[in-house]
């Protein structure tokens, strides 16, 4: 990874050709439209029901802002699909511009192509859930901060606050994971007064969805007791902090396995670049982008591979100047998403592959295939 300290201020970034990001956006748009499926069988019906009932919240953390936006349109199913495809398209273009702060155009293009092709990212753009929003807003927030750092134009700092608050509203847990990165940036790159104002504006903007979410839960059938019961169940049954058991081991596997499947070709490069470029504040920002959510997923709760959306751009940016491995990453994930289907087997390793990787492919979208590893293993044991 050749991170040039002058790259933030290089004339190369003043006039950026539009062909690469437009090509990436069109590739993402076409692939998402061609692979689009019917209503997502997991969260989809609950989102639609909450919109039709004008409750706008489902299980914690509710997703009030996401459902409220979708509810502005006559057909919420189509609205969510359009939202998620739009998030995916915009995310790839913004990622490209972010990558230009670290490397040249060719490498940035290939990394953005890999970003579009990650199997669970592709899956997220096709289904009716909140996952795809986190492809766009974390990397957009990071890009706005990079632009502020380069141009010293305050509008980019306030844009970062708006983007952070919006992304956090669409998927609040991921907003909490990203907040330490904003605190770090404020502490090391901003004057004290402006840092306090930036964080205050970000928090106040978040209140525009926190308060309606709280009110929605107060008036929902489950209410706040249901929220507490849901969180208590997670802590007691899923978290490794409560003890090592099948649930906690499976929880960690759901984080580690899809991460390795998606990024096996670049993870070592990313780790080496962290160690070699530790003095670069941007590298520390990327690490702070990744770590809080990763700790939560491994120590507390991890459900689906698309949870990794919020950190995927950061992983790729850490290895952005390894073009050959980016091509390998893009080709491998494309083949996985488009070409793989479940492998019938009684072996645990194969069923982990089926349930934690193949579950997020085009086959799963077309067949509404939603396996549960514990149920698969139980059925095998009973035979």
Residue 26 or residue 16, greater confidence: 26
Give CA–CA dist 63/66, Å, rounded. Answer: 5
Q: What is the dihedral of CA 130, 132, 138, 144, to 10 degrees?
A: -120
Average pLDDT over residues 347-369: 92
- Residue identified by tokens 């489902």 is 58
Q: Which of 102-106, 120-124, 247-251, 293-297 has the lowest mean pLDDT?
A: 247-251
Give CA–CA dist 72/60, Å, rounded. Answer: 22
Average pLDDT over residues 127-137: 95
The DSSP output letter for 222 is: S
> Is the bond preceding 336 in cis, omega lying within 30 degrees of 0?
no
Q: Give the tokens for residue 234.
A: 């997670």
Report whether pLDDT(235) > 70: no
Q: Which of 142-146, 155-159, 230-234 has the lowest mean pLDDT?
A: 230-234
Average pLDDT over residues 43-62: 89
Residue 222 or residue 84, greater confidence: 84
**Residue 320 near residue 108 (C-beta atoms within 8 A):** yes
Report whether pLDDT(203) > 50: yes
Query: Which strand (E) or helix (H) includes residue 221?
Result: none
Residue 128 or residue 201, greater confidence: 201
**Residue 134 near residue 174 (C-beta atoms within 8 A):** yes
Report whether pLDDT(289) > 50: yes
Give CA–CA dist 370/150, Å, rounded. Answer: 45
Q: Which of 33-37, 130-134, 202-206, 288-292 has the lowest mean pLDDT?
A: 33-37
Q: Give the tokens for residue 111.
A: 């990394």
**DSSP sequence for 293-316:** HHHHHHHT----GGGGHHHHHHHH
Report whether pLDDT(159) > 50: yes
* pLDDT computed for residue 380 by the predictor: 44
Report whether pLDDT(14) > 90: no
Report whether pLDDT(341) > 70: yes
Give CA–CA dist 303/301, Å, rounded. Answer: 7
Q: Between the CA of residue 100 and those of 9, 17, 103, 155, 202, what are the distances in Å?
A: 11, 11, 5, 20, 26
**Residue 227 near residue 66 (C-beta atoms within 8 A):** no
**Residue 291 near residue 341 (C-beta atoms within 8 A):** no
Q: Cα 332 from chain centroid?
A: 19
**Residue 57 near residue 213 (C-beta atoms within 8 A):** yes
* pLDDT computed for residue 191 by the predictor: 96
Write the Ramachandran bin of 20: left for phi over 0, alpha for psi from -120 to 50, otherwise beta: alpha
Most confident of 45-59, 94-108, 345-359: 94-108
Q: Between the CA of residue 300 and those of 173, 247, 248, 290, 295, what are the distances in Å?
A: 13, 11, 8, 16, 8
* pLDDT computed for residue 7 by the predictor: 43
Domain spans, the chain: 17-339
User: Percent of the chain scored above 70 by pLDDT?
Assistant: 86
* pLDDT computed for residue 229 by the predictor: 53
Give CA–CA dist 268/245, Å, rounded. Answer: 29
Q: Give the tokens for residue 382.
A: 């009973």
The rounded mean pLDDT for the chain is: 88
Among 173, 179, 359, smallest CA distance to 285 is for 179
Say how many CA atoms lie within 13 Å of 174 toward its Cβ: 28
* pLDDT computed for residue 61 by the predictor: 87
Report whether pLDDT(6) > 60: no
Say how many CA atoms lie within 13 Å of 245 toward its Cβ: 11
Sorting pLDDT into bands at 50, 70 and 90, what band is 231?
low
Q: Residue 200's CB: how many other CB atoms inside 10 A?
A: 11
Among 105, 120, 92, 115, smallest CA distance to 26 is for 92
* pLDDT computed for residue 15 by the predictor: 45
Q: Cα 114 from chain centroid?
A: 14
* pLDDT computed for residue 246 by the predictor: 73
* pLDDT computed for residue 225 by the predictor: 52
Give CA–CA dist 89/81, Å, rounded. Answer: 12
Sorting pLDDT into bands at 50, 70 and 90, what band is 240?
low
Strands (E), the chain: none
Give CA–CA dist 63/79, Å, rounded. Answer: 15
């Amino acid at each position: 990874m050749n991170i040039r300290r002058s790259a933030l201020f290089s004339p190369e970034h003043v006039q950026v050709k539009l062909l690469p990001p437009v090509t990436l956006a069109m590739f993402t748009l076409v692939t998402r439209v061609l692979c689009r499926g019917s209503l997502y069988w997991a969260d989809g019906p609950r989102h639609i029901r909450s919109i039709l009932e004008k409750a706008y919240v489902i299980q914690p953390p509710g997703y009030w802002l996401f459902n409220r936006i979708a509810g502005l349109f006559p057909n919420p199913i189509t609205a969510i699909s359009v939202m998620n495809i739009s998030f995916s398209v915009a995310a790839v273009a913004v990622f490209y511009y972010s990558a230009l702060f670290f490397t040249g155009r060719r490498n940035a293009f290939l990394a953005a192509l890999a970003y579009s092709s990650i199997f669970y990212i592709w899956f997220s753009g096709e289904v009716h859930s909140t996952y795809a929003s986190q492809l766009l807003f974390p990397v957009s927030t990071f890009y706005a901060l990079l632009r502020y750092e380069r141009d010293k134009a305050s509008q980019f700092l306030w844009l970062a606050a708006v983007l952070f608050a919006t992304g956090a509203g669409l998927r609040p847990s991921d907003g909490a994971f990203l907040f330490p990165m904003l605190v770090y940036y404020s502490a090391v790159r901003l004057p004290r007064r402006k840092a306090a104002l930036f964080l205050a504006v970000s928090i106040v903007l978040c209140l525009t969805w926190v308060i309606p979410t709280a009110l929605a839960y107060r008036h929902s059938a489950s209410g706040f007791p249901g929220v507490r019961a849901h969180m208590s169940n997670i802590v007691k049954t899923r978290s490794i902090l409560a003890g090592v058991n099948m649930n906690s081991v499976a929880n960690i596997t759901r984080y580690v396995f899809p991460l390795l499947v998606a990024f096996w070709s670049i993870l070592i490069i990313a780790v080496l670049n962290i160690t070699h470029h530790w003095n670069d504040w941007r590298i520390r920002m990327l690490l702070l982008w990744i770590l809080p959510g990763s700790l939560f997923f491994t120590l507390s709760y991890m459900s689906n591979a698309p949870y990794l959306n919020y950190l995927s751009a950061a992983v790729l940016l850490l290895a952005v100047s390894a073009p050959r491995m980016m091509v390998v990453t893009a080709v491998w994930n494309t083949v996985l998403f488009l070409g793989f289907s479940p492998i019938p087997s009684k072996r645990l390793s194969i069923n982990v592959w089926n349930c934690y990787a193949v579950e997020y492919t085009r086959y799963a979208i077309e067949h509404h295939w939603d396996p549960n590893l514990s149920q698969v293993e139980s059925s095998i044991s009973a035979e």
